[in-house]
């Protein structure tokens, strides 16, 4: 954690609260006015000059990393605001046995919509979810080919103390491939864990440097991003999924609410022409103090 910068106690920050996870965002120069107005999907007007411009749209998501990173950030916030590894939560992977179906974006979402209706009909309308679409690849020698999609489903009930669905029943309700069901009670930041799972790729064992100095596997950050095509809807959620709470307050007030030291800090300098600004992020995790004795691996309830 880098400590060569600090935030003044009286400075205003944005505090995002997500169960036991908190994030403070500080901007040295804040802009409280909207300088552009969207006209349609392709154009916007600059309010100061009246000039009409077109949005810069990249050909695919790998070329528009900022858009994807913002989507992943929103997804992390949403996950952490609703899931914290409680007994009433499950993480399910849903795969497609039919590879031609797995490649069809519209078809896989239609399949999911029918599935979630069947699941709620059989196991209760109290089931809330975040469904995340993940593209994956197959490797033929040195050639990587896009293979298709599968779903990661975060499932919970706000009215049950424990959520359990037998693996065989779950696979029968899905009916399109194998399923894997896990608990996430040993992960202290589920949003960050799943975001890394969705965007990073494990270093190949063929690389002599594929382990870090602790003997753990290394991952190539963002290496999976090229698989995400532009314009695809990466996740869906049910109506009962709550948005994280975001509040403007002084830094001192935010730290008093959080009550623990930050585990991560990042300073981002911004320079655009003659404009300069600085953004500072601090992240806090109360669970890291609560669960130091927990094991690393998540228990698998069922898999094919």
Of the listed ranges 68-72, 128-132, 220-224, 237-241, the least confidently predicted one is 220-224
Average pLDDT score over the chain: 80
Mean pLDDT (whole number) for 263-275? 80
**Which of 66-75, 119-128, 232-241 ranks highest by mean pLDDT?**
119-128
pTM of the predicted model as reported, rounded to 2 decimal places = 0.77
How far apart CA 117 and CA 107 sit, in angstroms, is 16
Structural contact between residues 149 and 103, judged by C-beta atoms closer than 8 angstroms: yes
Give the pLDDT score at 48: 66
Q: CA–CA distance from 140 to each of 7, 198, 201, 244 (Å)?
A: 51, 21, 16, 42
Mean pLDDT (whole number) for 137-153? 68
Instruction: Check pLDDT > 90 for residue 20.
Output: yes
Residues forming beta bridges with residue 8, ordered by sequence position: none
Higher pLDDT, 80 or 46: 80
The encoded tokens of residue 299 equal 């228990």
Structural contact between residues 40 and 104, judged by C-beta atoms closer than 8 angstroms: no
> Which of 161-166's residues contact partners 24+ apart within 8 Å by CB, and which partners?
161/87, 161/88, 162/87, 162/88, 163/87, 163/88, 163/89, 163/90, 164/301, 165/90, 165/123, 166/302
């Amino acid at each position: 954690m880098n400590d060569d910068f600090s935030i003044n106690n009286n400075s205003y920050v944005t505090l995002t609260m997500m169960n036991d996870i908190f994030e403070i965002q500080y901007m040295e120069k804040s802009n409280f006015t909207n300088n552009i107005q969207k006209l349609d999907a392709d154009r916007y007007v600059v309010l100061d000059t009246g000039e009409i411009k077109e949005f810069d749209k990249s050909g695919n998501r790998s070329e528009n990393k900022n858009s994807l990173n913002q989507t992943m950030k929103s997804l992390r916030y949403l996950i952490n605001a609703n899931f914290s590894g409680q007994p009433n939560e499950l993480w399910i992977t849903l795969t497609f046995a039919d590879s031609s179906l797995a490649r069809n974006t519209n078809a896989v979402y239609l399949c999911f919509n029918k599935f979630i209706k069947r699941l709620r009909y059989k196991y209760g309308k109290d089931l809330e979810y975040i469904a995340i679409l993940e593209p994956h690849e197959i490797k033929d020698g040195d050639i990587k080919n896009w293979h298709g999609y599968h779903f990661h489903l975060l499932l919970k009930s706000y009215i049950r103390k424990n959520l359990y669905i037998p693996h065989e029943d779950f696979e029968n309700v899905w009916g399109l491939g194998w399923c894997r069901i896990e608990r996430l009670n040993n992960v202290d930041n589920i949003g960050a864990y799943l975001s890394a799972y969705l965007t990073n790729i494990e270093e190949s064992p063929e690389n002599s440097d594929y382990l870090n100095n602790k003997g753990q596997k290394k991952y190539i950050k963002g290496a999976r991003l090229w698989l995400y095509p532009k314009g695809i809807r990466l996740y869906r959620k049910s109506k009962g999924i709550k948005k994280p709470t975001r509040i403007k307050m002084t830094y001192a007030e935010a730290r008093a609410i959080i009550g623990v030291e930050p585990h991560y800090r990042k300073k981002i300098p911004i320079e655009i022409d003659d404009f300069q600004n600085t953004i500072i992020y601090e992240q806090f995790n109360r669970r890291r103090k609560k669960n130091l004795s927990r094991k690393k691996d998540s228990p698998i309830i069922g898999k094919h």
